[in-house]
A and B are shown apart, each in its own frame.
Chain A
Amino acid sequence: MRRAILFLLLPLIIGCQPREEVTTEKLSATRLLSAVDQQGFARAEKPRDFIFPQDHGPHPAFRNEWWYFTGNLQDQSGRRFGYQVTFFRFALTPPSKKPSVSQWSNNPVWMAHAAITDSEAKRHLKQEKLVRAGPGLAGSEAQPFRVWVEDWQLQQGKAGLPWKIHINSETFSLDLDVEPTIGVVLQGDKGLSQKSAEPGNASYYYSYPRLKSNGQIRINEKQYRVSGHSWFDREWGTSALSPEQTGWDWFSLQFNSGYNLMFYHLRNRQGKADPFSAGSWIDKAGKTKRLSLDQIELTPLRWWKSANGNNYPVEWEMRIKSENRLLNIKPILDEQEMDLSVRYWEGAVDIYERGKSIGSGYLEMTGY
């Protein structure tokens, strides 16, 4: 759900507005929710049966959909890397029964973001692709499983798993094999993730909270063999946030103990936490406990100002009341802003408890 807002910004991006306007418009992104017509799309109204591997593939009846990878990797020498690879689909028109003359008609728009954080060199590299489906420029297929935006690809291997991620840009490339070590985790109510009070304002949401990852990173001309853990989120729906909801802080944390935590912290206009903020606590075997806002207490500890003047709370204190734990979450690099068509902060973080490093994860912050 967190990424839903990104889509709502799309029409702005496509308009190729000067950056200043994007910034000012950004806050009113939620306004666009009502502007984009939801008529004719299917809606996530009640829990459904998930069928795999079909559900890894596209759901064109819904307006938006995404495939979201983040992960922490290191090479043989221990050099730390964070990465993010995301594919978004956003339909501009409901699926039509009439076949169209042109392959370019009624196209969904696809956006892909890729980033690599190199903590040792203190650099954060990012790249974006924004294309329409057209004659096979971007798309998704269930079997064999494949998602692609031009040459950026996510596809299943010969035997199904591991999946292969391929990203290539001028400054960096990423080739990663990822294989889940914990099965599918259905988020929210059996995979139905409620966004706001209005019925139907929800999405279908599942995760692979821990994937074993192996592969290569190239930065400029230098190659690194890397391995580590990734997190995969899948979500689709037609809903929108309420106009009151202005941004979020989203945590996906992987503890060295094998436990995992996801929590999205929605903020309203007053900067207060929205009651629909939620998450899950997942053990080694994939057993899940739902987390609600009253179980989690979040406090920003340190703010960082980006070159664009955006202020992000990059360091947090997280209290998990039910588990009686107090965590300190710190970025491996402050400068992990995704200053692309949509501007947000998405970066690798470390988890500390009583001064000791106990895991790593990813943090996403928008609406700042």
Chain B
Amino acid sequence: MVGSRLRLAGFRHQRKHGWQTALAILGIALGVAVVMAVSLANQSASRAFAITMEQISGRVSHQILGGPSGIPEKLYTRLRLEQSHLKSAPVVEGVVRIGQEQFTLLGLDPLSEQPFRTMTRLPGTGVLTRLLTQQNGLLFSSYTAKRLGLSAGDKITLAIAARSPEVELLALFGEQQGAVLDGVLVADIATAQTLLEQPGKLDRIDLTLTPDAIAPLQTWLPKGYQLVETRQRTSAMEDMSKAFQTNLTAMSLLALLVGGFLIYNTATFSVLQRRRQFGIMRLLGATRSELFRVILFEQLIIGLIGTAIGMGAGILLARQLLWLVTRTINDLYYTVTISRLDLAPEIIITGITLGLVTTLLASAAPAWEATRARPQSVNRRSAIEQQSHRAIPWLLFIGLSTMGGGLWLAQNSDRSLLLGFAALFCFIMGYCLLVPAMVPTLSRLIQYPIKWLFGTIGRLATRGIDATLSRTGPAIAALTLAIAATIGMGIMVDSFRTTVGQWLTQTIQGDVYISAPNSSSKRASAPLPNGLPAKALKLDGVREVSTGRHVTVESETGPVNLLAIGLASTSYRGFNFKGDTLADLWQQFSTGKLVLVSEPYAYHNRLKTGDKVTLLTPLGNQSFTVGGIFYDYGSDRGLLVMPREHYAKLWQDQAVTTLGIYLKKTATLESVLTQVKTLTSEYDQPLTVRANQEILKHSLEIFDRTFTITQVLRLLVIAVAFVGILSAMMALQLERAKEHAILRATGLTPRQLLGQITLQTLLMGVMAALLAMPLGWLMAEILIHVINVRAFGWSMPSQLSTTILIEAGLFALIASLLAGLYPSLRMARTQPALALREE
């Protein structure tokens, strides 16, 4: 009986304070939405990758891999003739495009496929015959075809490197529902070799091996080839993007943390406002547990509504984030098409749980507090304020120890990215606990200047903050956290961008670069025409040229990017080494015994100068000494550098991927650029010619592109924080309606009241901004020196940008100003007597 009354009372209260309820719901919804969206996008990316790999690899347990130029198909013939008892299949793999979208072209021999994959199991016999005999027939997954609006029999123009052959969609495989194998096109091996222009070459040989067959095959395998376990390779590839995805998840949790504060705030206010009502209920016979349950139930309903809205919004948001995630993964890691949101039940459940648990945790504290108070004393508001102040030493202690723990964890968790994030969160939480403890001190500090500036109103405003610490404390903490998050992420991205810019300027030493766009190979970038370097060198005004060959080679730890460079005399300056290098570095480098490794590669593989790196060459495994570790922000997978002439000899690959042109002092860029463009237009193959500055601009554009998602998340955190501040401040001021009415009744004009309220919220904003700056800076330090290093292996100096600090300060002021506006306008308009009677 009492319970239902209590519930009804709660419902009435929420209805009466609709604004507050709506904001609470909005806060929860936003927090849940961001977490959901990021996990959904991440999960979809991982699943798309896993499914694609699973379907492509099928029941392949092992693969034979070769160097950058693939495997001669005669090796497969030898394998079939000498090891015919093994289940094996030849695979040709390349990259093709339809419009702007990238696809993996898989060339298979349907006759060898049966033990491995199902894609070439086709209905009817005619299609298979056509697949085998028609030189341009392809198979699409039903899902891809549907997505692109294609059906069997359609003609499609592919873009392969610089060519655009027309192909025919012969048939579809797989079901339309699952996004299985989206992004993969299947062709007969003959068609694939023809389209990719790689006659006689395979990309790998797939095998299904029993454990006892592995060792004999390894012995049989000629030098220069490697037998690798598929699972290991797949997981190595998946790991590439894991750090990136972990970062996204952590940022989404930050949004939830801010959201959690917000819920805590609104729940606290909602309970505090009704202390008197609860006291009466208690006097009427409601028990503590009844009251506790009712409050929790009420908050749970709010949490449920917020979570439900958040889930919907999260799914909508995830669709937007998905293409950003896909683009970044494709830019940085591997080709994968993720066109479908994977609404995994575990993510939905996690979303619901996060929303509800956060709500319950955040409202349990105020609910507990409200029920614990003795009914007689509930009316005395001073009681809770006294408690709040008494809690300050405790908050200080817990806060400082949590921060200390966070710092300790950051230093003692070696290389673990997750523990790095845990340390960051500890640090943040600890700092947030300190905030309420610092509010009284801060308000006392500013008390006199404010009084001097604004008189009694100023004094009322500052003293009010301290006097209602139980409410202002969490609100300021939430605001601090939100501002700090934007500062921290801002500084991190900014430092990163500056570092990359400087690095690019140093690395790009040539004046003009020539490259070939869009390689069709997954292991090597598209080669330039033969003889181009020699011709370029003869151009008027050209002092010298440098050549580069980008390939992927196999190392003991999986595939690794290798840059083979023919250095120009000035390109040595392009390397900036971290720590010591070997003595006579460049002289030793030219002998071919050394490799230079990039910082991420050294970090991930725990290498230092003087260590050995083993690479698979056509002559078998060969080990190289690390001559030096250079800064490189081009790839977080790492890069090895060796002289091109030695690479060409070892891997029997004379191709050149990029050509750098260095000008004579007397030459002008325009004249050389014109000559180079004339020279490149003589070739059928389209070539990209870019001046130094253009590359710099282009590279920074790519950088910005990959950080778009970080910026989006930063904006989302800001949005959550903004709503949080708005609702906290509004609730705070609305709750003080009676106090304001008394002030009005004792002679304060509406204008003065407006001034007082606005001043107070502004002051809170300023306090939060001040408190957020050190936290934001420390967050940036942890992000740059702990998280970035662990996730990507990049080290860089942090740079405190005043712009970001000013932005953050402005944001705090605007948010608090807006938050103060509504309650003060409302109060200014209300008759004081009415407000007093209402209470």
Contact = CB atoms under 8 A, between A and B. Distances in A.
B188 interface: yes
23 contacts: A11-B129, A14-B128, A14-B132, A15-B125, A16-B113, A35-B126, A93-B133, A101-B199, A102-B191, A102-B193, A103-B190, A104-B109, A107-B132, A107-B190, A129-B84, A131-B111, A132-B109, A134-B77, A135-B74, A136-B81, A150-B81, A151-B81, A170-B85
A148 B129 CA distance: 23
A102 B190 contact: yes
B194 interface: yes
Nearest to A14: B128
Nearest to B114: A16
> In which size bucket is the chain A interface?
20 to 34
Most buried by A among B80, B113, B188: B80
Interface in B97-111: 109-111
Nearest to B121: A16
Contact of B124 (A15, A16, A132): A15
A318 to B, nearest CB: 36
A271 B673 CA distance: 82
Interface string A87-101: 000001100000011
Given A134-B109, A150-B81, A105 B135 contact: yes
Contacts of A92: 129, 132-133
Nearest to B113: A16
A131 B132 contact: no
Contacts of B200: 102-103, 135
A185 interface: no
A136 B84 CA distance: 14
Given A15-B121, A170-B85, A131 B190 contact: no
A12 B125 contact: yes
Contacts of B199: 101-103
Contacts of A169: 85
B251 interface: no
Nearest to A169: B85
A1 to B, nearest CB: 22
Contacts of B110: 14
B436 to A, nearest CB: 70
Nearest to B124: A15
Nearest to A130: B111
Contacts of A130: 111
A151 B77 CA distance: 10
Most buried by A among B73, B76, B113: B73
A115 interface: no
Contacts of A310: none
Interface string B60-79: 00000000000001101100
A197 interface: no
Given A17-B121, A104-B190, A150-B80, 6 more contacts: A11-B126, A36-B129, A102-B189, A132-B111, A134-B77, A135-B73
A114 to B, nearest CB: 12
Contacts of B132: 14, 92, 107, 109, 132
B835 interface: no
A101 B122 contact: no
Contact of B111 (A12, A36, A109): A109
Nearest to B81: A151
A92 B200 CA distance: 21
Which secondary structure dominates where chain A touches chain B?
A: loop
A168 interface: yes
A351 interface: no
Q: Which 5 A-B pairs have the closest CB atoms?
A: A11-B125, A104-B190, A102-B193, A105-B190, A102-B190
A352 B294 CA distance: 99
Interface string A129-145: 11110111100000000
A154 interface: no
A99 to B, nearest CB: 10
Contacts of B74: 135-136
A314 interface: no
Contact of A135 (B76, B113, B125): B76
A38 interface: no
A169 B86 CA distance: 11
B193 A11 contact: no
Contact of A168 (B77, B84, B190): B84
Contacts of A135: 73-74, 76-77, 200
Contacts of A109: 111, 132
B82 interface: yes
B194 A101 contact: yes
A104 B107 CA distance: 11
Contacts of B76: 134-135, 137
Nearest to B118: A16
Given A105-B194, A170-B85, A14 B189 contact: no
Most buried by B among A32, A104, A150: A104
Most buried by A among B90, B129, B188, B199: B129
A106 interface: yes
A134 B81 contact: no
A104 B114 contact: no
B125 A35 contact: yes
Given A100-B190, A131-B112, A151 B73 contact: no
Nearest to B123: A15
B128 A131 contact: no
A304 to B, nearest CB: 30
A73 to B, nearest CB: 24
B188 to A, nearest CB: 7
Interface string A101-132: 11111110100000000000000000001111
Nearest to B122: A15
Contacts of A129: 84
Contacts of A102: 189-191, 193-194, 199-200
A36 B85 CA distance: 32
Contacts of B112: 131
A20 B133 CA distance: 27
A50 to B, nearest CB: 31
Contacts of B124: 15
Contacts of A101: 193-194, 197, 199
A136 B126 CA distance: 26
Interface string A188-215: 0000000000000000000000000000
A129 B80 CA distance: 11
Interface in A327-348: none
Interface in A141-189: 148, 150-151, 168-170
Interface in A20-41: 32, 35-36
Interface in B195-210: 197, 199-200
B11 to A, nearest CB: 62
A105 B80 CA distance: 19
B207 to A, nearest CB: 15
A231 B343 CA distance: 65
A130 B82 CA distance: 16
A130 B125 CA distance: 16
Contacts of B193: 101-102, 104
Interface in B295-326: none
Interface in B471-529: none
Nearest to A131: B111
Nearest to B134: A93
Given A134-B109, A136-B77, A104 B121 contact: no
Contacts of A35: 125-126
Contacts of B73: 103, 134-135
Contacts of B111: 14, 109, 130-132
Interface in B235-265: none
A4 to B, nearest CB: 17
A151 B82 contact: yes
A131 B197 CA distance: 23
Interface in B175-233: 188-191, 193-194, 197, 199-200
Contacts of A15: 121-125, 128
A150 B109 CA distance: 15
A180 to B, nearest CB: 28
